[in-house]
Chain A
Amino acid sequence: MLSRIAESLFWIGRYVERADGTARILDVHLERLNHLPLEEQRSVARELLAVMGAKPQSEDFGLPELLHALAYDKQSASSIAGSLGAARENARRARETVSQSLWESLNTTYYGLNQHRKDVVGTYRFCNWVLERTAMVRGLADTTVSHDESWLFMVLGRSLERADMTARMLSTRDVQSAGMSWVNMLRCAGAYESFIRTRRAAFGDQHAAEFLLLDRLFPRSIVYALRDADECLAKLDPSAQRVGFINDARRIVGQARTFLEFHRTDDLMSELPEHMERVQKAVTQASDAISRKYFNQADEHAWVGEVS
């Protein structure tokens, strides 16, 4: 398939998952933010934005600005509206490859972005709506696209972004000032019920972090997402290597996954910031490596040019 198309599909996967993750984080934290005194609200809003990888535009940054930056700002790739717009733009460029229903659902989503009140109450509804729409997009992608190379690129993007988003959810722990933060973390990931069922009476920060980071069966845990990404990369690479690796992305994803999966968790809470940083870094590096290998072959062109 064309590299350009593959790249579009990869980014559809990433952007849709990013919108989903951001909506989850925003929904849960908005509730907490509303309970804080104004001064604290402002500083927490700032930190939350930093966790999501953006910088405040102006000095005066409070709750309304946070809503704009994370939900409605169409210019920014870290906002929900921006991500969904970018996903739709990518689908438009690969329209002949994605299924009609997938394109339609992305397009409908894009046009629905403006139909929400932009105050706090409206944002709750907006987040809910985004969760529904992204779930629908994922479902259509899984059921109306052949599970061939093109689908693999989409799932690859989705899995990497999911690992990244879960890492950010876990990082928001630092932002929370008033107790019960682990409940929030779990609710962010939609993992609360699953967690409670698995862990029975063992509640607490440490267990919740362990679950979101290392659980082998929960689909939004980092280890699970990285394993998904790893499997996609393995299927995409036709050369069956018996020893070693030639695919940089696989090395990065595989190393991060195995390190986490078999890491002792005694000091998990104090190590958490490092884990999160490294996971996010690994995702970025893997994404770069994938785009070097599959999307732009500028390096190779230069080399060919030298010979002739």
Chain B
Amino acid sequence: MSDLFQDYSEAAARSGAYDEMFAPGHVARKSYGQVSGALRELSLADVTARADSMARTFLDRGVTFDYAGEERPFPLDIVPRVIPADEWDVLERGVAQRVKALEAFLNDVYGRMAVVTDGVIPRQLVTTSAHFHRAVHGFEPSGGVRVHVSGIDVVRDAAGTFRVLEDNVRVPSGVSYVLENRRAMAKGLPEAFGQQHIRPVEEYPRRLLSALRKTAPAGVDDPTVVVLTPGVFNSAYFEHTLLAGLMGVELVEGRDLICRGNRVYMRTTAGEQRVDVIYKRIDDDFLDPLQFRSDSMLGCPGLVNAARAGGVTIANAVGNGVADDKLVYSYVPDLIRYYLHEEPIIANVDTFRLEEKEAREHVLDRLDELVVKPVDGSGGKGLVIGPDASKEELDALRKRVIADPRGWIAQPVLQLSTVPTLSGDKFGPRHVDLRPFAVNDGDDVWVLPGGLTRVALKEGSLIVNSSQGGGSKDTWVLANSPQMPAEVIPRQSVTVREQVSVWPVESNWRDRQTEQQQ
């Protein structure tokens, strides 16, 4: 380990961030004990050979994302991110709490708007959100769930505290990499798995399918679930195919669907087949040309009306974008108190609302120290990091903020926590975030143990998005008892059998004859 981790502690000290693997003084934290032991046994040649083989496996399996029209493998680093059981317990509860609050908020803003009447959040803020869709106002979606799947991005600040960076309740992506990363790591670093129990992630597709089936329209016994993809050119197309494959459901495009009489059907070789639940991986704007963009070729006309009439469940529900608007985000702690009467378990990152005059002036003075984000962006689009930006960029930003203060928020620059990451011939600290995924089936919010850890592969960079040079790490949540999983099935010996024979008695004259002859 000595040469691979040479210079690591200096580099870590330089960044000033919280390191997930090493406590100050270059001592491996307890949760990383086994990983650090396994790495210590490996030479540089071993590590690079394994990293190469993992990269090749990803390409062979087609684990790619689409970048500028080109399929690229998603870089997976060999050092996992390990979360001890007690820290995960907090995260898990915090994420579930947030999802419940956002669910309640969405139900409210598309209904009575009590949250506005009670003065928790300004009406104008809700109605000016680009993703507040009046087309879905005033009805409860069948199944009663709006946020079936969510990804809550959390980061760890320099003090080591987890904070929520943003919520994704429209079409959170990335879970396919969680599943694939685990497969690759089980074969790439098998030594690290042995003596500790790492909570499995493979049940995600089953959990998702059962949640989708559970929220089907009333009166359907055996619901048909489909995944709706924009098509092969979408950057997350690999994920759509993987999820559809692992759930054993059809992957459909808009042109495979027909709406008639507020029911949705898909065209099959056996005629039209009714579709009950659509797991939608298309942006709302493209979903239904009757309601949203009329030039969309990706959706299917009539879906929204079918959902309104209760003929189909759309997951996640149309109009969820209002809840992950970044300005609404700054109100989520209040929403948690308002709807759940609880204190938020995970805090937000401090956020300046630029509509407020004082805050705006304060921010405009310090643009070069802050991160400024568009409220409806995703994937790191349009985000400006003050300390890294040129003067021209800052001036352009200043103009845009003044022109549309509702469209932006500002946050202090967070030193995201770091994890050792292979770069060239040694490990260096690289910044990471974490996106835990939650599945809501209406009764219960289940949080996938772990989630997607994205890592900025460039030293010092804080942008982890895959479209901007990010990679990922497998995320391990350690189980409470280090020994075994909860359900230990009693072992049976291979030979023990009390069963009466069901096969016919072996009486074959011919065999006997030959035996006698011999």
Q: Residues of A with Cβ closer than 8 Å to B? A: 30-31, 34-38, 41, 47, 50-51, 120-121, 124-125, 171, 174-175, 177-180, 183, 193, 195-201, 203, 248, 251-252, 255, 259, 263, 267, 270-271, 273-275, 278, 285, 292, 299
CB-based contact A120/B190 at 8 Å: yes
Q: Is the Cβ of B511 less than 8 Å from the Cβ of A285?
A: yes
The reply to whether B489 and A178 form a contact with Cβ atoms under 8 Å apart is: yes
- Chain B's closest residue to A47 (CB) is B494
Give CA–CA (A263, B191) in the complex, Å. Answer: 44
- Assess whether A34 is in contact with B491, with CB atoms less than 8 Å apart: no
- Identify whether the interface residues of A are mostly helix, strand, loop, or mixed: helix
Tell me if B246 is interfacial: C-beta within 8 Å of chain A. yes
Q: Using Cβ atoms and an 8 Å threshold, which residues of chain A touch B193?
A: 34-35
Enumerate chain A residues within 8 angstroms of B493, measured Cβ to Cβ: 174
Known A-B contacts A31-B186, A124-B187, A197-B248; A37 and B195 likewise in contact (beta carbons under 8 Å): yes
Q: Which residue of the partner chain, among A120, A203, A259, contacts B206 with CB atoms under 8 Å?
A: A203
Measuring CB to CB, which residues of chain B are less than 8 angstroms from any residue of chain A?
A: 50, 53, 186-188, 190-191, 193-195, 197-198, 200, 202, 206, 209-210, 213, 222, 245-249, 483-485, 487-489, 491-494, 497, 499, 501-504, 508, 510-511, 514, 517
Contacts of A41 in B (CB 8 A): 194
- List the A side residues contacting B213 at CB < 8 Å: 201
Specify which chain B residues have a CB less than 8 angstroms from the CB of A197 in the assembled complex. Answer: 248
Q: Are B200 and A278 in contact (CB under 8 A)?
A: no
Q: List 26 A-B contacts (CB under 8 A).
A: A31-B186, A31-B190, A34-B194, A35-B186, A35-B197, A35-B198, A36-B194, A37-B194, A37-B483, A41-B194, A51-B494, A121-B53, A121-B187, A121-B190, A177-B488, A179-B487, A179-B489, A180-B200, A196-B247, A197-B248, A198-B248, A200-B248, A271-B499, A273-B497, A273-B499, A274-B502
| Cβ contact within 8 Å between B497 and A274 | yes
Choice from B188, B246, B248, B489 contacting A177 with Cβ under 8 Å: B489
Interface centre among A200, A273, A285, A292 (most CB of B within 10 A): A200
Contact of B194 with A196 in the complex, beta carbons under 8 Å:
no
Whether the Cβ atoms of B186 and A196 lie closer than 8 Å is: no
Q: Is the CB of A121 within 8 A of B188?
A: yes
Contact A201 B494 (CB under 8 A): no
- Give the CA-CA distance A278 to B517 in the complex, in Å: 25
State the Cβ distance, B469 to closest chain A Cβ, in Å: 28
Looking at the complex, which one of A124, A200, A248, A271 makes contact with B510 (CB distance below 8 Å)? Answer: A248
In angstroms, Cα B27 to Cα A197, docked, is 49
Residue contact B499 to A35, C-beta cutoff 8 Å:
no
Closest to A41 in B: B194
Contacts A121-B53, A196-B245, A197-B248 known; A175 to B484 CB distance under 8 Å?
Answer: no
Residues of B within 8 A of A124 (CB): 187
Given A177-B489, A263-B502, also A171-B494 (CB < 8 A): yes
On whether the beta carbons of A38 and B202 are closer than 8 Å, the reply is no
A75 smallest CB distance to B (angstroms)? 25
Q: B503, A259: Cβ atoms under 8 Å? A: yes
How many Å from the CB of A137 to the closest CB on chain B?
A: 20
Contact B50 A178 (CB under 8 A): no
CB contact between A201 and one of B188, B210, B245, B491 (< 8 Å): that residue? B210
A303 to B494, CA, bound (A): 44
The list of the 4 closest CB pairs from A to B, nearest first, reads A196-B248, A34-B190, A124-B187, A197-B248
With known contacts A121-B53, A178-B485, A179-B489, A50–B494 Cβ distance under 8 A: yes
The reply to whether B492 and A174 form a contact with Cβ atoms under 8 Å apart is yes
Enumerate chain B residues within 8 angstroms of A263, measured Cβ to Cβ. Answer: 502
When chains A and B are docked, how far (Å) is the Cα of A175 from the Cα of B492? 8
Q: Out of A50, A120, A203, A274, name the residue touching B499 (CB < 8 Å).
A: A274
A125 and B503 contact, CB distance less than 8 A: no
| Contact pick for B50, options A35, A121, A252, CB 8 Å | A121
